[in-house]
Each structure stands twice: as structure tokens, then as C-alpha cells.
């Protein structure tokens, strides 16, 4: 196997492991925050299970927002990726293990739990974002490389959710221990791939400037924001909605989430390659319009089978959008600023997750699940409509048919 092909598999496996570890916690989030101290409503953060769950998820993604750019700048300035990924993975494992210890000992208030969660998120995002940057560094076609990242993300989420649900039925702390073990494995696995970061060093100011001079990056960033907003919405509000509306347990909730993530994962690589051939516009714009309508369909599904079918449809559409959006970042970014460019994309995505948690959680808590689905699905449709003129004026034909794309 060509070294690029081998490294693509290794790096995709790392992305898979990081996302798998993250999604382990989601189906049993209500039970988890309970053993972490949220079962005693001593502050506004823990007045309800929904409030405590929301803030536990928000803490991680707030750390993502604060630190993803730091990791990207450090990597581009030094011309290295692997050492930072190893550091982030090991430190993230320590964070997960510390949460497991806290859940067992119960020695600190929930506010302290959130501080540990922030540390864990700040470290984990380095491993995640820079591994995706290493995939950007590979030859073979941007759509193909980002399709590999996408299939890893989707498979990690698709399998992490149901496995996490099963682990929660054994012990709510089990997903934390499993996540710590997985990130430790990641720190070893990533060393098997070659570090292809551009070797010439540049000042941080020059790297940031190279990204800021490319305003077209705002297009994939905007779509990344809204797409991740919907993912955050399903992770929190969708989880609780399925349990409240249909009376299902954590294990069944994990399977419902897997109805989305399975097609989302399995179709990303072929649909990413497709975007190398037909361009990014159709997958992103048309896919996003349909995706928003699919979200609305989930919110009005009357039964579990209908909800599962709607989730499958949304998963297919998500697989059409995701790799094309990430590939568009690679199309536009300067080679020596890829770490910061991908950090910007993940920053937008993390803000999207935060928005999904906060907007979805707040609307669902105050006005009900129906309005929450309407707002989130409507935002996905709105961004697609607003972005149409920008796509029409974006000259990406040369990037789409670059030599690298032709070799895909």
C-alpha cells in the first residue's frame, strides 16, 4: 500500500477513536451528570437534568472554542503535528479518568466537575483538529481525504452512541473509563503515520494573516457552524426528546442516534470522492436544504419506526454535506496555514455545537421540543438559501480540478 493510503487509514482510525470516545457519554448523559453531583440541585446549573446535561456538554465545547486555534497555530509555527496530538490525547485521557474518579468519590461540587470537563475538552480538541489537519496534508484528493475524516467521524459517532448506551446500563461511569483508555491508545496509534506538515516555519502573525486573506473560508465555516449546531442539538435535545416522547431507555436512544450516524459514516468516503468530480456546490447547498427538511421530519415523527426512518434520511444527507464542506476548506486554504484553517473550521463547528446545546436546550426547556426542531431545521435551510449567491461568485473551479483532485 502507498504510504499516503496507509497513513489515511491510520489517521482516520485516530479520528474514529476520538469521536467514539466522545459519543460514549451522550446516550447516558442524564445518568452521568447524576453521579457527578447534579442529582442535588444546589445551583442554577443543576436545577433540572436538562440544565445539568446542557452545561456538561457546553463546558467541553467552550474549551474547544477557546483552545482549538492555539493548537493550530502551535502546529503551523513549529511545522509539527504528531507531538501535539500525542500530548492532547494523553492529557485528554487524564481528564476523562479524573471525571471517573470524581464520579466515584463525589468529592467536589458540580462547578468543579465542569472545570475538569473544560480541561478535558481543551486537550482533546488538539488531538482531533490536528489529526484532521494531517489528513489535509496528504495527497490523493481533498474530497477523498476529507471523506476519510468524515467516515471516521460518522463511524465513531454511530458506534460510540450505542456502545455508550450499553455501557451506561452497566455503570454510568463506564463510558468515562472507556474514553480514557481510547485516548491513551490514540497517543500511540498516531505515531505510526508520517508527519507531513510543511517543514518551513513561519511566524504566528503571518500564518493567521494567510487565513484572514481568504474570506472565502467563511463559506465552509458558516456551513460547518450550522451542521455542527444540528449535531449538538441531536446529541442533547434529540436524546432527551426520544426518551420523553417515546419512553425509550438509554440503549434504545443510542440505537436511534445510530440510525443517523451509520449512513452518515458509511457514505462519506464515496460522497467525498463524488464532490471531487462534480464540485462542492450541489452537495453543500442542495444537501443542506434537504437536510433541514429532514430535521423537521424527525420532530414530527409519530412513532419510533418513523423517527428511525427520518434519522436514516438525515444521516444520508449529512454524509453528502460533510466531506464536501471540509474539502472546500482544503481547496481554499494556503498549504502552510492548514492547521489554522482547519482550526477555524473546527472553531466554527464547536460554536455550532454550543449553539445546538444552548439554543436547543433553552427553546426545548421553555417552549417545547416542537419549536426547538423548527428553529434548528429552519436555520439549516436558511444558511443554504443565504449562501447560494456566495457559491455562485466563488471561483473554486480551478481548485476543484487541481492536479491533486485529478489524481483522486
Query: How far is it, in rounded angstroms, from Cα 233 to Cα 242?
Result: 12
Domain limits of the chain?
Answer: 7-406
Instruction: Identify the CATH homologous superfamily for domain 7-406.
Output: MFS general substrate transporter like domains (1.20.1250.20)
Query: How far is it, in rounded angstroms, from Cα 53 to Cα 42?
Result: 15
Residue 116 makes CB contacts below 8 A (sequence gap 6+) with 95, 98, 99, 102
- For the chain, the average pLDDT equals 82
Asked if 148 and 5 count as a contact pair (C-beta separation under 8 A), the reply is no
Asked if 375 and 251 count as a contact pair (C-beta separation under 8 A), the reply is no
* CA–CA distances in Å: residue 314 to residues 19, 163, 311: 19, 21, 5
List the beta strands (DSSP E) in 216-370. none
Walk along the chain (408 residues) and give the pLDDT tens digit of each residue.
457 778 888 999 999 999 899 989 988 888 888 888 776 666 667 667 777 887 888 888 788 888 888 888 888 888 888 999 999 999 999 999 999 998 888 778 888 889 999 999 999 999 998 998 888 888 766 677 877 887 887 788 778 878 998 899 899 999 999 999 999 999 999 999 888 777 665 555 555 555 556 677 778 888 888 888 887 788 778 888 888 888 888 778 878 887 887 787 788 888 888 887 877 778 888 888 899 999 999 989 899 999 999 999 998 998 888 888 888 887 777 666 667 777 788 778 778 877 887 888 888 888 888 888 999 888 888 888 887 777 766 644 444 444 444 444
pLDDT at 397: 46
Tens of pLDDT, residues 99-113: 999 888 877 888 888
Rounded to two decimals, the pTM is: 0.73
Asked if 190 and 14 count as a contact pair (C-beta separation under 8 A), the reply is yes
Query: How far is it, in rounded angstroms, from Cα 77 to Cα 208?
Result: 10
Give the count of beta carbons closer than 10 Å to the beta carbon of residue 4: 16
Query: How far is it, in rounded angstroms, from Cα 129 to Cα 193?
Result: 16
Backbone angles phi, psi at 378, to 5 degrees: -65, -35
pLDDT at 402: 46
Residue 133 CA neighbour count, 13 Å, CB half? 38
Asked if 342 and 254 count as a contact pair (C-beta separation under 8 A), the reply is no
Backbone angles phi, psi at 224, to 5 degrees: -60, -40
Query: How far is it, in rounded angstroms, from Cα 171 to Cα 319?
Result: 32
pLDDT at 188: 94
Please choose, from the candidates 346, 261, 15, the residue with its C-alpha nearest in 3D space to the C-alpha of residue 149.
15
- Supply the angle between the helices 82-105 and 3-23 in degrees, to the nearest 10: 20
Counting other chains too, the contacts that 165-169 makes at CB distance below 8 Å and 24 or more residues apart are 165/27, 165/28, 165/249, 165/250, 165/251, 165/252, 165/253, 165/254, 165/255, 166/251, 166/254, 167/24, 167/28, 168/27, 168/28, 168/31, 168/32, 168/250, 168/251, 169/28, 169/249, 169/250, 169/251
Tally the residues of the chain.
Answer: 408
Amino acid at each position: 500500500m502507498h504510504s499516503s493510503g496507509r497513513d489515511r487509514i491510520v489517521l482516520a482510525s485516530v479520528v474514529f477513536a476520538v469521536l467514539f470516545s466522545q459519543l460514549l457519554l451522550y446516550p447516558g448523559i442524564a445518568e452521568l451528570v447524576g453521579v457527578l453531583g447534579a442529582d442535588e440541585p444546589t445551583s442554577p446549573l443543576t436545577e433540572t437534568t436538562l440544565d445539568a446535561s446542557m452545561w456538561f456538554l457546553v463546558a467541553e465545547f467552550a474549551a474547544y472554542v477557546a483552545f482549538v486555534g492555539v493548537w493550530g497555530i502551535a502546529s503551523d509555527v513549529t511545522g509539527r503535528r504528531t507531538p501535539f496530538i500525542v500530548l492532547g490525547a494523553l492529557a485528554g485521557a487524564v481528564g476523562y479518568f479524573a471525571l471517573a474518579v470524581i464520579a466515584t468519590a463525589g468529592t467536589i461540587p458540580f462547578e468543579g466537575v465542569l472545570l475538569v470537563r473544560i480541561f478535558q475538552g481543551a486537550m482533546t480538541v488538539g488531538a482531533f483538529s490536528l489529526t484532521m489537519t494531517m489528513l489535509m496534508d496528504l495527497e490523493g484528493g481533498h474530497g477523498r481525504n476529507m471523506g476519510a475524516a468524515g467516515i471516521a467521524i460518522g463511524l465513531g459517532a454511530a458506534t460510540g452512541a450505542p456502545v455508550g448506551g450499553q455501557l451506561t446500563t452497566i455503570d454510568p461511569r463506564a463510558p468515562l473509563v472507556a474514553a480514557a483508555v481510547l485516548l491513551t491508545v490514540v497517543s500511540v496509534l498516531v505515531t505510526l503515520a508520517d508527519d507531513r506538515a510543511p517543514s518551513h516555519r513561519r511566524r504566528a502573525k503571518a500564518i493567521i494573516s494567510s487565513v484572514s486573506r481568504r474570506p472565502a473560508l467563511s463559506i465552509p465555516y458558516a456551513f460547518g457552524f450550522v451542521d455542527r449546531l444540528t449535531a449538538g442539538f441531536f446529541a442533547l435535545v434529540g436524546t432527551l426528546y426520544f426518551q420523553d416522547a417515546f419512553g425509550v431507555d438509554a440503549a434504545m436512544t443510542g440505537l436511534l442516534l445510530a440510525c443517523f450516524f451509520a449512513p452518515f459514516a458509511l457514505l462519506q468516503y464515496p460522497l467525498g470522492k463524488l464532490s471531487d468530480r462534480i464540485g462542492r456546490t450541489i452537495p453543500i447547498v442542495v444537501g443542506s436544504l434537504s437536510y433541514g427538511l429532514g430535521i423537521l421530519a424527525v420532530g414530527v415523527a409519530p412513532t419510533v419506526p418513523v423517527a428511525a426512518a427520518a434519522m436514516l434520511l438525515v444521516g444520508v444527507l449529512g454524509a453528502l454535506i460533510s466531506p464536501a464542506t471540509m474539502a472546500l476548506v482544503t481547496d481554499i486554504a494556503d498549504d502552510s496555514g492548514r492547521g489554522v484553517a482547519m482550526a477555524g473550521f473546527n472553531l466554527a463547528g464547536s460554536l455550532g455545537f454550543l449553539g445546538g446545546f444552548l439554543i436547543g436546550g433553552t427553546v426545548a426547556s421553555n417552549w417545547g421540543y416542537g419549536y426547538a426542531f423548527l428553529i434548528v431545521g429552519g436555520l439549516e435551510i436558511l444558511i443554504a438559501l443565504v449562501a447560494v449567491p456566495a457559491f455562485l461568485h466563488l471561483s473554486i473551479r480551478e481548485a476543484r480540478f487541481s492536479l491533486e483532485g485529478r489524481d483522486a
